C-alpha cells in the first residue's frame, strides 16, 4: 500500500507540472507509452529495481529509452531517479493515467461476451454502461470468452455485473446440490 500512496503523490505532482506547463495531453501520451514500455520490458524493470546500477547510469538509460518524450516527462523521470523512486515508475504512470481519466471524466469498462458484439450492440451496451457508471465518456472493450456460454459480463474498476449463462447454471447447480 505504501508504494501506491507514493505513486499517487508523484503522479499528482506530475499532473500539476503538466497543467502549469500547458502540456497535459502530451504528458498523458508519454505516461501511456511509459506504462507500456515498463510493463513489457522485464529487463527495464530489473534495471530500475537493481541497487547496484548507479543513478547516473539509470538516468542515461532512461533518457535513451524515453528520448521521444516531452521535456516535462524526461525531467520528471530523472527526478524519480534522484529521489530513488525509479522502481515506482510503472505505478506512477498508471496513477497518472487514472488521475487524468478521473479529471476528464473518462472511464473504461470491459464487456465480456461469448461471441464478438457488432457495432450497434456495442453502441447500445456503451449507453447502458454509461448509465450504470454515471459517466458520459466510456471507453468500452469487448473481450470474447466462449466459456460464459451466453449473456454478458461487465467489468468497471472493481465492479462486476455478471449476467452470463454460465453463472446462472452455477446458481442452479448450487440450488440443486444444497436443497
Domain assignments of the chain as residue spans, ordered by start: 2-102, 106-178
Angle at the Cα of 134 from the Cα atoms of 146 and 90, rounded to 5 degrees = 70
CA atoms within 13 A on the CB side of 20: 7
Measured CA to CA in angstroms, residue 70 lies from 31, 52, 120 at distances of 10, 28, 39
Q: What cell does 63 get?
A: 533518457
In this prediction, residues 89-115 reach a mean pLDDT of 91
Measured CA to CA, the distance from residue 85 to residue 97 in angstroms comes to 18
CATH of domain 2-102: 1.10.520.20
- Please classify residue 47 by burial: count the beta carbons closer than 10 Å to its beta carbon, then call 0-12 exposed, 13-18 middle and 19+ buried: middle
Please write the tens of the pLDDT for every residue from 28-38.
999 999 999 99
Place of cell 456460454: 149
Place of cell 501520451: 29
User: What predicted TM-score, i.e. pTM, was given to this entire model?
Assistant: 0.72
Place of cell 452455477: 170
pLDDT for position 1: 40
pLDDT for position 157: 83
Place of cell 459480463: 153
pLDDT for position 3: 59
pLDDT for position 89: 93
* Res. 161: pLDDT tops 80: yes
pLDDT for position 170: 92
Amino acid at each position: 500500500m505504501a508504494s501506491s500512496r507514493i505513486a499517487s503523490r508523484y503522479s499528482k505532482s506530475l499532473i500539476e507540472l503538466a497543467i502549469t506547463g500547458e502540456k497535459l495531453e502530451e504528458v498523458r501520451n508519454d505516461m501511456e507509452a511509459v506504462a507500456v514500455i515498463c510493463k513489457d520490458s522485464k529487463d527495464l524493470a530489473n534495471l530500475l529495481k537493481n541497487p547496484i546500477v548507479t543513478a547516473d547510469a539509470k538516468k542515461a538509460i532512461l533518457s535513451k529509452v524515453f528520448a521521444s518524450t516531452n521535456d516535462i516527462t524526461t525531467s520528471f523521470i530523472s527526478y524519480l531517479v534522484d529521489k530513488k523512486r525509479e522502481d515506482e515508475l510503472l505505478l506512477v504512470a498508471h496513477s497518472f493515467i487514472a488521475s487524468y481519466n478521473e479529471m476528464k471524466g473518462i472511464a473504461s469498462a470491459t464487456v465480456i461476451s461469448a461471441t464478438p458484439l457488432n457495432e450497434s450492440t456495442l453502441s447500445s451496451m456503451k449507453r447502458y454502461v454509461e448509465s450504470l457508471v454515471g459517466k458520459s465518456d466510456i471507453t468500452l472493450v469487448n473481450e470474447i470468452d466462449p466459456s460464459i456460454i451466453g449473456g454478458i459480463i461487465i467489468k468497471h474498476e472493481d465492479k462486476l455485473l455478471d449476467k452470463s449463462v454460465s453463472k446462472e447454471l452455477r446458481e442452479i447447480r448450487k440450488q440443486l446440490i444444497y436443497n
